[in-house]
Structures are given as structure tokens and as C-alpha cells.
A and B are shown apart, each in its own frame.
Chain A
Amino acid sequence: MLGQELSETGKRLFRDFPILRMLWESGRKKGLRETIALIEKAEEFNRTFAVPRALELDMRMEREPEYFDWDIMREACKYRFLSIFIPKQLGGIAGEFMVTNTSLLMDELCSGCSGIALAVGAHSLGVAPVITSGAMAHWDTVLKEIVEGELKRQPVTMAYAITEPSAGTDVEEPEYLERAKLSLEAKKVKGGYVLNGRKCFISDGSEAKYFTVCAALDRNRPLQTWTTFLVERDMEGFSTPRVELKMGQRASHAAELLFEDVFVPDSHVLGYEGDGMGNGILMIMAASRGPVGSIATGIARGALQHFLSWAKTKRNGKRPIDEDRIRMNLADMWGMIQENRGLYMSNAMLGDAIFGKALDNPVMNLTLSLPSSLRTMPLMRNFLNSYYGKAMINAVLRFYIKDEDMTQLLETASLAKFSCADNAMELCSRALSIMGPEDSEERRWVEKCYRDAKLTQIYEGTNQLNRMVVNNIRFEETLRVEVPRPFKKGVMA
């Protein structure tokens, strides 16, 4: 019965993820059809676009690190990958299974080329704070611009900037942020803030039009004053002077952001002042570290596919797979991938259970069903950006999302992140050792996966940091995510 209704992709997904089949059987067909359709698109994207150019582009980026292939973003527009986090009510494609879809999408895209996938995915990381902070005033401007650009295949992209030259791990954990040595500071001035300092390693930083940027209002009290801003590329004093030559995932840029007296208006604070860590970064990390686990899994799966194709190719009359040791290794590798998927899917499904309600409820639906012209009226905009407007939005968020939920989500995310990354690294490493000195396209691919995989142990918090997070939440209960509170006191008092 399943067979008739499902495409080949659907069947593969149900075989790889029996939990999806369970959801299907229990009546969540509508959402799952979207999931399947999305993954079909990702397969097509890989087949027709990413895979044919991945190795060439990777090599080119080594020689010309400044080069960026805009076709990646244009092609992503065609499949609407730039709006996976943007709610349908706003023209995006985020629905019932937003987090699950994101995770599955990254797994799929990264099995083709994780550099290209990162260029696409980092954009959504930039979008996320605009959504989770409930900054409705920007939904009809920034998010709408992204959607419209996507439909016209004129990509408008975002990036998420928290890391600073002297603070990487430090900006990912409240306890550490408190003692961090920060570079960027946002000074309150009339009508807004003036930003000075640097951010580094920002994925998509040299392409994005909009940035969600965290900065301290007072570098001596970073945790209390950590605030999320929406920064626009053409703001005066803003520049991206440097891109790095990375070991892997090269198709996307890691850029430095330089702020020289950049004026950011009050309206561009996302959430309240001082909410940047608890409600900002931790919420984003709870939603994004799981997908980093799926990035690692996709890389590993890509490596496995190439390894398998190598194993099945005859060399001097023999196929490697005819040896038992190769068969055993293949089974081990598949085991690692399925173990990863168990972990990131737990996180993703919990994410959807939590965010599903927050994005699809009477208040939200009513607000989003208003004509956007109403929401963009100056009076309304001012209200949404005001202290009371934010209080209202936060009250709704808090009604649907509980601190315990977000804390559990962060735990599952961190667990998935470091476990998947370690497995991916191990898988790629083992595949290369087994292949040994080979002159084959497959070896070149697996070498690329090996370089690509290493990054997953570093970004979105190093694996060490993520291990600490799991401990701190699960065993010592010293870390807790706080969903934004309405009527927060000013932090600069």
C-alpha cells in the first residue's frame, strides 16, 4: 500500500528513517509529503548542479579563495532552499516539519557537497534569529525581500555573526561569555547604537545583505548586555575585508566583518537589549546544532557512497567488496550513519514538537493573516518594535515554548552535534585508510569529505564545548535556556 503512494525518494526515506513511516501511518501525511518533495528537490539539486561542479569548485576556491559562485544561491532559489526557515504565511516554505526538514535537507545536500550546502544553510542560520526573536517588524521587510528575491532568482541572503577574533567558545556559553574578551561593542546613542569592532569566520559573510549580529553594549558586562542586532551590508562603516582559505567546505566563504562606527537604529534590535545569549544564541544553537549533526552525517554518507562505488569497481579482476573485511567495514559505516540519524532526528522532532505550536497557533495565525500592509504601517511597526510590542510577542512565545523544552532541545542538539561530527570524521578517515594509494575519482571525493568533515567538529561550538553543554544540562543542571520574558528591565540601568 505504501508502495503506490510513495516516490522512490519517499521509499528510501521511509527505509532509512522508519520513524517517518510511523508518522505517516499515524496520519501526518500532509507534512511528510512536503518533506519528501523537499528531499526530491535536494536530490535533483545535487544531481544536476552540486555534484558535477563540487570537485572543480573546491579546487578553484583553493587558488582563488575570494571567488564566490553565485550560481549556488541562484540555484538554491530555484528550489526555494533560502526560505526553509521562513513560515509559509510569509511566503516561505517552513511548515509542520520545519526542523526535521532542515535536518534532512542538510543531510541530503551535504552528501553532494557540504561546501555548497553550507553556503545555502548558513543563510538560514542568519534568518533564524529574525524568526525566533519574534521580530515581526522585520518579517514583512527582510523576510519578504528574501522570499521575493528567491522567486525572481535574485538571491538576497543573510549570515549569522557571533564569533569574534578572541571569543569563539566564549560566545556560545553564558558562563564563558561573562569572562570573554570581546572586540565588538555597541554603544547606545540617540536613536540607536554605534558598533565598533570585528567578527570573524562568518559563513556567507562576504555575500550576505543582512546580518544578525550579537554584540555587547558594555564589554565589561558582556553577558548582561549581549544584544542581537540586524545589520545591513550597506550601513556606513560596515565592511568585510577578509575571507579565509579553509581546509574544506570551501564553496562557502568564512569572512571577517569589520564595524567602524556603524550606526544601527533602535528598530534593528532583535528582542530586548541583553537577551542576546539566553534567548538569542542558546535558542538558535538549540535549533541549529542538530542540523550541524546532519551536515556531518551527509558528509559521511557522501563518503560512504564513493567508498561503496570504489568497493564495487573491479580492479585487476577483483572487487574490493568481495573481501569480507570490506563488507564488515561497510556495515560499520552504515551503522555510524544510522546512529547519527537517530541522534539528529531526536533533536529535529523535538524541535518541531516545540516550534510547531509556536508558529502555528491562533495568535500567530491571526497576526500573520493580517495583510502585510497593515503590519508595515508606521504605527504598527513602531508598536512591534516598542517595549510593549516585544512584551506581547514574548508573552505569546512563552505561552507555547517552555524553558524546559528549550533546554532539552539544546541538550539533544549538542549531543547530536558532537557525536555526528566524530562519527563522520572517523568514517572518512577509515574509508581513506582502507582505500590507500588509489588513483580514482572516489579517492578524491573521500579526501574532500575528510577535509570537509573536520569542520563539523569545530563550528557551532567546538565538540568540547558541546560535551560540556550536555554535561551541564543533563548531569549538573547548571545550564538552562530561558525563553524570552515579557517586561524585561533595561540592562543599561
Chain B
Amino acid sequence: MIGVPWAKESKQYAVLRSNALNFAASELAPMADDLENTVDSPLFWKAVEKAGEMGMLAALVPEQLGGEGVDLYSLCVALEESAVECAGFAAALLFHNAALVPLVYSDRKDLVEEFTGGKPLCTVATAGELALEEGRVRGSAPFVFNVLEGTVALLFAAAGDGRTAAYVKMGTEGVETRVDPYPLGWRVSNFATLEMKDARPVFVLDKSGKEALAATERTLYLGLAAIANGIVRKAFQKAYDYARQRYQAGKIIIEHQAMRLMLARMLCAMEEGRAVIRRACGSEELGPAIIAWRRAGANACQAAMDGVQIHGGYGYMRDYGMERLMRDAKYCQMFPRPEEEQLLRLLDMAESGS
């Protein structure tokens, strides 16, 4: 396959990338399409176990707290490679890792241990309206993944005049879930809306809540950008291969300029995605992460849509593995917050110098 042609990375990342790609090829590829309809399959948990062995389950948590202590770009590399085979699985990994970020701001090694046991994965609830008052959480949060009995969810909860990080556990009193059996994308992981009815959190970050949530958000945006980039790569790879073997209108279709342009755009998107992610990882700010997410998400949607188009009617059918990319890509763009809202926020951030 043609790779990202120009982006050069240091050896450390290149090794990680190749390990993660092998992991994706051996653990995720064989089940990516099966998993579409089997939310809680043993294959999924086997892949989680392997991800754990590779240090992908508490990647960002420092070693002294029992984590792997890798940098954000490394996590992005692992997520991008995983997403090449299965964006839904990569998203599940991302939410788990993002959920642990606030613990970095605590000294709760015990919680890190408790939350990273492997099954179930943790998750984050960023959307919706949740409020923490007098030690109880109220409100609802849509678009929460990895939702199973026992899942610990990090909530972005309004508290006082700001927000803080609060963790609740599925299945405890006041935590209700409404599973959506039919989301557009990321079908591998259970997808639900959480309803908090005076739920008692298992842990609330007293200090540094705001900072912790900003770091979590940054992880989410960059991780999603990386997943989106993985989708672009898969779309390119599949479309390129297909275009070289499909004959139509007197040529193999890769010889039609309309097809070549689409493929070339995907190539730009891959390079662009890598570049914005790398750059944003080098900054501690949230802004560049949001910018990377916007770019990579839009690119993934376009690439997947073009990939389907290059496959013609076959692209539209489940059996050919293209349409899943189109559905998964859209969620990279729709989550964790609506795009225009984040655009406006970017300008606000720039104006206030934050």
C-alpha cells in the first residue's frame, strides 16, 4: 500500500506505529465487520487485553500512578493505526484513556488500578447537561460509548460557576442508561444516553477540575483527529486498490481523472491530518487540538464518501467494507461537540487569550 508519503517521524513513533498497525491487522481487522452487530463479543475483549499488553489502556497516566506515561502523540499514533482497521474500537480505546486523564491531577493510584482492570472500559460523557450539586449529579448526557454494567464514566459536570470532573459507575443508584441500538457509526461499542438522577459519584476531583477537563478535552479532540486520519488511510487504501482492479469505460478506473483527483485529495488529507495532529500535540493549548479535529474530521468524511463513490454500487453494500468508513467518519465529526459551536469557541478563546 502507498503510505503517507512525506511525513517523517522519529524512530520511537515509527516503531510504535508499526506495532500498533500489526495489532490492528491481527486483532481488529478480522472482527471489524463482525463486531458491527455484536457489541459485547469475546473478540472485543481479547483485543482489549492485547491493547493492555501494548500499554494502550492507561497510556497517558504517569508511571508513578501505575500508568504507561506515554505522550499524547504516541496515543494518537496508536489510535490512528487502530482506526485503520476499526474506528469503533479505536474510539472505545480513546474514551477509556481520556476518562483517566483527570486522575493524573489526583494522587489516586488506587483509582487508576480500579478503573483500568480491563473490563469494562471507562468512558467519558462530554455532551448534554450534567450538574453536580451537594455531592449528587443530575441531568443527562447523550452519546456515551463503552456503556456496560460497571463502566466508570467521567462526567463533565457543571459545579459552582465552572465545571469539574466527576466519576460515576453504571449500575449504581441514580445512574440510568438508555441504550441506542442503532447508532450511525462506531457500532462496536455500546452507545447510550446516561440519565443521572441524584447519582452519587465514586470520585470528584476537588482541585484542578477545570484544568483536568481541559486536558481531557484536548486528548479527546486529538484522539478523534487521529481516528479520523486512520479512516482516511483506510479509505485511501481500499479505494486505491479497488480503482486499480476495476475496469470501466475502457480503462481501469484509476486512469479516470475524476478517480485520480479523489485519491489525490485523500493523499493530501492524510498528510494534512498528520501535520495538524503533530503540531497540536506539541502545544499544551486546547485550540490547536480543536483545529486538528475539525480538519481531520472533515477530511475523513470526504475521504470515506469518495471511497464509497470510487467503489460505485459495491461501495454502498455492507460486504465491501466501505460504507462502514462513511458512517464511522461522520461520528468523528459530530462528537464530542457540534462543530460550529466549537468554531465560535475557538474565536472566544483567541479573544480572551486562553
Contact = CB atoms under 8 A, between A and B. Distances in A.
Contacts of A246: 316-318
Given A439-B193, A450-B184, A433 B338 contact: yes
A458 B312 contact: yes
Nearest to A59: B182
Given A429-B301, A438-B142, A200 B338 contact: no
Interface string A219-250: 00000000000000000000000001111100
B181 A59 contact: yes
Given A163-B313, A437-B335, A462-B309, A444 B182 contact: yes
B130 to A, nearest CB: 11
Nearest to B336: A437
Interface in A35-54: none
Contacts of B344: 325
B323 A247 contact: yes
Contacts of A434: 338-340
Interface string B163-200: 00000000000000010111110000000010000000
A436 B309 contact: no
Given A447-B184, A450-B184, A244 B143 contact: no
Contact of A429 (B143, B258, B330, B340): B330
B333 interface: yes
B243 to A, nearest CB: 12
Contacts of A176: 248-250
Contact of A170 (B184, B248, B333, B337): B248
Interface in B312-327: 312-313, 315-319, 323, 326-327
Contacts, number: 126
A63 interface: yes
Contact of A179 (B250, B308, B323): B250
Given A59-B182, A244-B317, A454-B308, A169 B249 contact: yes
B143 A439 contact: yes
Contacts of A168: 248, 312-313
Given A429-B301, A436-B335, A463 B193 contact: no
Given A316-B129, A450-B184, A458 B327 contact: no
A437 B142 contact: yes
B106 interface: no
Given A437-B335, A451-B184, A458 B309 contact: yes
A455 B330 CA distance: 16
A179 B308 CA distance: 24
A455 B316 contact: yes
B293 to A, nearest CB: 12
A457 B309 contact: yes
A387 interface: no
A28 to B, nearest CB: 39
A454 B127 CA distance: 28
Contact of A437 (B143, B181, B182, B317): B143
A-B pairs, top 7 by smallest CB distance, nearest first, are A436-B338, A439-B142, A437-B143, A247-B323, A245-B318, A437-B127, A439-B193
Interface of A: 55, 59, 62-63, 163, 166-170, 173, 175-176, 179, 181, 200-201, 244-248, 254, 316, 325, 425, 429, 432-439, 444, 447, 450-451, 454-455, 457-459, 462-464, 467
Given A55-B182, A245-B318, A246-B318, 18 more contacts: A169-B249, A173-B249, A176-B249, A179-B249, A244-B319, A247-B308, A247-B323, A254-B317, A325-B344, A432-B334, A433-B338, A434-B338, A438-B127, A444-B182, A447-B330, A454-B308, A458-B312, A463-B309
16 contacts: A63-B37, A169-B249, A175-B250, A246-B317, A247-B318, A254-B317, A436-B335, A436-B339, A437-B128, A437-B143, A439-B128, A450-B184, A462-B312, A463-B309, A464-B258, A464-B309
